[in-house]
């Protein structure tokens, strides 16, 4: 028996997805299919800590030290023995010395003695409690701790309470955030292993498209999709290969797809995938790889091409998005974003949704997922409210620009009554 090295064919993937129907594919099934299709990057690079912000950790980071390394004080005050505290009366203690943060030499204290201590200073041997300075009365070399202001063990940070030695501080697959850089710095880690950046090529197709700077003859529109796509991709910290506007010409299209498959891990196109489209995009896609043309049960964004484009023994995952500007953004967020994160090696994280009361009734047919552009507000500190932005036409990009979230009306959901709670995906969670 020979060992299998080829990735699964699209037919094999389809047979694993329950209820797969390419002519009316629910969003959940499309996501499952894509998750099975996409490979992960394999190459690892070492980066200086700050350069790793937003990148995906490639290996578990195990703490080689305890953080903090020693018990220390959480307050400015006096370190004492909890067992010296009187149960119901003031406690008088002699001040035996002092301890400052960064000092390795420890003052020691006998029973009924205490040590003046600053935040972060090591706890002297035998002392287990810190009373904050504002609670005590100091009288020369003595302090009086009033009854009840502190309990044994209070205000002491324990060695290893942030990270124990040998503990996994951060797991592989994590997209590194500011707190993670700080955590890694607290371990003394100067460099971190991350997956190499995913390379994503993208281009727009359509004879009516003009680039910024060109004249705009009647019947033409400026290409906006390459700008929204660029913006969404830039936020994912992938390497971008902008292949421009490609004319609806088989030679030009084939050259663009081959360039993408040669250099990129994924290629995202917009336009030319509608059912009944008379242009050449679909034919060239089908010629260069293993590609399926779906009709997804969603709105906006029904048509989509998915598969692999191959050239010179390399292949890139193809996401052929519809051309309408809002459909491009919605299909990207609903179907492409998580796939690119998975390809980048990131462990999936569900996006946080808000539950907001719809300010008006919304017409919705069960049997498809709808993404409506909404403006969420929290008037007067009360619960979240959402209002749909004017026209929901899939060509009206202004509705996307005005919105601060997508109202997600799920597959099985029907009409929404005014005041009913709906799910909203806030753009701040996405971008």
* Chain contacts with Mg ion (rule: CB under 5 A): 206, 271-272, 323
Among 225, 315, 369, 372, binds ligand AMP (CB under 6 A): 225
Our finding on whether 228 is near ligand AMP (CB under 6 A) is no
Half-sphere exposure of 26 (CA within 13 A, CB side): 14
Contact call for residue 270 and ligand AMP (CB under 6 A): yes
How many C-beta neighbours within 10 Å does residue 4 have? Answer: 7
> For residues 425 and 408, is the Cβ–Cβ distance under 8 A?
yes
**Residue 27, both tokens:** 């969003």
Site for ligand AMP contains 331 (CB under 6 A): no
Q: With respect to Mg ion, which residue has the nearer C-beta, 99 or 323?
A: 323
**C-alpha angle 232-235-240 in degrees, rounded to nearest 5:** 75
Closest CA to 405 of 381, 370, 378, 429: 429
Q: Which does 320 bind (CB under 5 to 8 A by kind): ligand AMP, Mg ion, none?
A: none
Q: Provide the token pair at 82.
A: 């909890």
Neighbours of 301 (CB within 10 A): 24
Nearer Cβ to ligand AMP (19/219): 219
Helix axes 250-263, 281-288, angle to 10 degrees: 40
Our finding on whether 345 is near ligand AMP (CB under 6 A) is no
Round to whole Å and give the CA distance between 321 and 296. Answer: 11
Min dist. Cβ of residue 279 to Mg ion (A)? 6
The nearest distance, CB 276 to Mg ion, in angstroms, is 11
Residue 370 touches ligand AMP, criterion: CB under 6 A: no
Per the listing, tokens 């195990």 go with 62
Partner whose footprint covers residue 324, from ligand AMP, Mg ion, none (CB < 5 to 8 Å by kind): ligand AMP
Q: Which of 133, 186, 274, 392 binds ligand AMP (CB under 6 A)?
A: 274
247 binds ligand AMP (CB under 6 A): no
Residue 204 as a binder of ligand AMP (CB under 6 A): the answer is yes
| Nearer Cβ to Mg ion (113/254) | 254
Instruction: Provide the minimum distance between the beta carbon of 54 and ligand AMP in the complex, in angstroms, as a whole number.
Output: 27
Applying CB under 6 A, among 323, 345, 374, 426 the residue interacting with ligand AMP is 323
Count, residues near ligand AMP per rule CB under 6 A: 18
Q: Which of ligand AMP, Mg ion, none binds 304 (CB below 5-8 Å, type-dependent)? A: none
Exactly one of 26, 289, 300, 325 binds ligand AMP (CB under 6 A); that residue is 325
Out of ligand AMP, Mg ion, none, what residue 124 binds, judged by CB under 5 to 8 A for its kind, is none
Q: Which of these segments, 65-73, 143-151, 219-227, 340-348, binds ligand AMP (CB under 6 A)?
A: 219-227
| Residue 314: CB minimum distance to Mg ion, A | 27
Both structure tokens of 154:
């209070």
The answer to whether the CB of 47 falls within 8 A of the CB of 191 is yes
Query: In the bound complex, what is the minimum distance in angstroms from residue 33's beta carbon to Mg ion?
Result: 24
The CB-nearest residue to ligand AMP is 323
210 binds ligand AMP (CB under 6 A): no
* HSE-up (13 A, CA, CB side) for residue 32: 14
Identify the residue among 206, 300, 301, 405 touching ligand AMP (CB under 6 A).
Answer: 206
Of 277 and 370, the one with the shorter C-beta distance to Mg ion is 277
Shortest distance (Å) from residue 295 CB to ligand AMP: 13
Judge contact between 321 and 303, C-beta under 8 A. Answer: no
Contacted entry of Mg ion, ligand AMP, none for residue 311, CB cut-off 5 to 8 Å set by kind: none
Binding string, residues 376-395; x marks residues near ligand AMP by CB under 6 A: -------------------x
- For 397, other C-beta atoms within 10 Å of its C-beta total 19
For residue 208, state whether it binds ligand AMP (rule: CB under 6 A). Answer: yes
In the complex, the residues that contact ligand AMP under the rule CB under 6 A are 204, 206, 208-209, 221, 223-225, 270-272, 274, 277, 322-325, 395
């Amino acid at each position: 028996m020979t060992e299998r090295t080829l990735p699964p064919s699209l037919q094999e993937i389809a047979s694993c997805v329950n209820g797969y129907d390419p002519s009316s594919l629910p969003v959940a099934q499309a996501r499952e299919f894509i998750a099975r299709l996409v490979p992960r990057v394999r190459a690892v690079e070492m980066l200086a800590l700050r350069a790793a912000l937003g990148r995906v950790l490639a290996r578990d980071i195990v703490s080689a030290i305890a953080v903090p390394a020693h018990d220390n004080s959480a307050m400015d005050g006096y370190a004492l023995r909890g067992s010296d505290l009187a149960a119901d009366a003031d406690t008088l203690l002699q001040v035996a010395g002092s301890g400052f943060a960064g000092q390795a030499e420890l003052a020691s204290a006998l029973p009924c003695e205490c040590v003046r201590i600053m935040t972060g200073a090591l706890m002297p041997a035998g002392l287990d409690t810190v009373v904050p300075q504002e609670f005590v009365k100091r009288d020369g070399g003595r302090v009086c701790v009033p009854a009840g202001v502190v309990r044994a063990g209070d205000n002491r940070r324990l060695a290893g309470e942030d990270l124990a030695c040998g503990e996994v501080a951060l797991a592989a697959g994590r997209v590194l955030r500011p707190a993670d850089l700080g955590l890694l710095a607290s371990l003394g880690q100067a460099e971190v292993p991350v997956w190499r950046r995913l390379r994503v090529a993208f281009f727009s197709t359509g004879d009516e498209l003009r680039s910024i700077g060109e004249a705009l003859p009647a019947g033409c529109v400026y290409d906006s999709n390459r700008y929204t796509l660029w913006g969404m991709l830039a936020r994912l910290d992938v390497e971008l290969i902008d292949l421009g506007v490609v004319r609806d010409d088989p030679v030009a299209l084939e050259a663009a797809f081959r360039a993408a498959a040669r250099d990129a891990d994924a290629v995202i196109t917009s336009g030319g995938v509608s059912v009944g489209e008379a242009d050449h995009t679909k034919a060239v896609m089908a010629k260069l790889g293993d590609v399926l043309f779906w009709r997804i049960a969603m709105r906006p964004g029904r048509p989509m091409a998915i598969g692999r484009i191959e050239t010179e023994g390399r292949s890139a995952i193809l996401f052929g998005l519809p051309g309408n500007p809002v459909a491009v953004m919605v299909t990207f967020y609903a179907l492409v974003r998580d796939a690119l994160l998975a390809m980048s090696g990131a462990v999936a994280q569900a996006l946080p949704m808000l539950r907001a009361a719809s300010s008006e009734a919304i017409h919705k047919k069960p049997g498809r997922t709808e993404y409506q552009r909404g403006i969420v507000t929290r008037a007067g500190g009360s619960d979240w409210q959402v209002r749909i932005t004017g026209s929901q036409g899939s060509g009206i990009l202004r509705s996307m620009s005005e919105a601060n979230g997508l109202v997600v009306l799920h597959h099985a959901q029907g009409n929404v009554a005014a005041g009913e709670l709906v799910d909203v995906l806030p753009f701040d969670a996405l971008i």
